[in-house]
């Protein structure tokens, strides 16, 4: 929604197009500067940041909706995207007064008011999806009602709107448990990466330290990555080797317990 007319149309006709009482919220993980980050957005006249989200079209498959919403925000397709939980317990999801008030501030920018029985004022459950994206590849799309975007370190997430902090917590727990079954790194790193890069990525995700030598040994023993002949120039210091994921091994879920530790 890039202009005021689109927004007005959405407010007036969205209920015909989208399923009511239901939204999708996306926890978009990216990795940059040795830190695991999440993409947050701030809507017009809102103090708190939120997760990017959207609605499900009436005849759209749920997974397709999540991919569409992600595409609208990041212009990325074919990314790693996974549903992790559906949120419908928080008081904010039972009583809608706060949501209605916030909506009224946001949509004031397009001069529309949200009445008490408007479809956007109704109780809304949210289906949580998390995505792993290559930070560098994301193109933020400006939207009329969105005043700011920010990649925030997972250790410095501020208080967010509604139950979004809870959603992020659950996404992180899920991500951490998936890391031993899937080659998570593949989706967060560029095609070629150095050992220190993937090493510190895993340390960020799991929030603990691993021995450099053992970490490399394990990755190679699993056949997950291959060491290339190239090195990357990093200026002042010794040039580290580049590595790449082995698609055959990285693209299938690991056998039970293949990766239990580093």
Partner DNA sequence: TCAAAAGTGTTTGAGATACACCCATGT
Partner DNA sequence: ACATGGGTGTATCTCAAACACTTTTGA
The footprint of a copy of itself (CB under 8 A) covers 19-22, 56, 58-64, 83, 85-89, 93-94, 123, 125, 127, 177, 181, 257, 260-261
Cα 165 from Cα 25, distance rounded (Å): 12
Question: How near is the Cβ of 227 to DNA at its closest, in Å?
Answer: 7
Q: Decide if residue 217 touches DNA (CB under 7 A).
A: yes
Q: Decide if residue 136 touches DNA (CB under 7 A).
A: no
Question: Which H or E run contains 36?
Answer: strand 35-43
Which of 78, 94, 221, 229 binds DNA (CB under 7 A)? It is 221
Of 106 and 171, CB closest to a copy of itself:
171
Of 96 and 232, CB closest to a copy of itself:
96
Of 208 and 238, CB closest to a copy of itself:
208
Give exposure, 122-138, as e/b (b: 16+ Cβ within 10 Å): eebebbbbbbbbbbeeb
Give exposure, 15-27, as e/b (b: 16+ Cβ within 10 Å): beebeeebbbbbb
Question: How near is the Cβ of 261 to DNA at its closest, in Å?
Answer: 4
Angle ∠(163,166,168) on CA atoms, nearest 5: 115
Beta bridge partners of 39: 151
**Closest among 140, 107, 120 to 30, alpha carbons compared:** 140
String marking each residue 140-179 x if it binds DNA according to CB under 7 A: ----------------------------------------
Cα 211 from Cα 17, distance rounded (Å): 53
Of 99 and 145, CB closest to a copy of itself:
99
Of 169 and 230, CB closest to DNA:
230
Positions touching DNA (CB under 7 A) are 194-196, 211-214, 216-218, 221, 231, 233-241, 260-262
């Amino acid at each position: 929604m890039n202009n005021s007319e689109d927004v007005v149309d959405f407010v007036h006709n969205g209920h015909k197009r989208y399923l009511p009482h239901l939204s999708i919220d996306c926890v978009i993980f990216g990795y940059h500067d040795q830190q695991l980050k999440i993409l947050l957005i701030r809507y017009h006249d809102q103090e708190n940041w939120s997760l990017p989200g959207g609605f499900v079209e009436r005849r759209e498959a749920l997974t397709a909706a999540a991919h569409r919403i992600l595409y609208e925000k990041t212009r990325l397709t074919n990314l790693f995207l996974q549903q992790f939980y559906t949120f419908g317990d928080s008081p904010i999801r039972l009583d809608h007064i706060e949501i209605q008030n916030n909506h009224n501030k946001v949509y004031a920018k397009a001069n529309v008011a949200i009445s008490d029985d408007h479809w956007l004022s109704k109780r809304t459950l949210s289906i949580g999806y998390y995505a792993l994206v290559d930070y560098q590849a994301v193109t933020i799309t400006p939207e009329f009602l969105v005043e700011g975007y920010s990649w925030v370190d997972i250790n410095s997430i501020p208080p967010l709107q509604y139950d979004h902090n809870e959603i992020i917590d659950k996404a992180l727990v899920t991500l951490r448990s998936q890391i031993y079954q899937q080659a998570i790194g593949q989706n967060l790193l560029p095609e070629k990466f150095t050992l220190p890069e993937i090493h510190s990525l895993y340390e960020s995700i799991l929030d603990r330290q691993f021995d450099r030598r053992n970490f490399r040994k394990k990755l190679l023993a699993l056949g997950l990555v291959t060491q290339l002949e190239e090195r990357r120039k990093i200026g002042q210091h010794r040039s580290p080797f580049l590595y790449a994921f082995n698609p055959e091994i990285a693209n299938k879920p690991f056998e039970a317990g293949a990766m239990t530790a580093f």
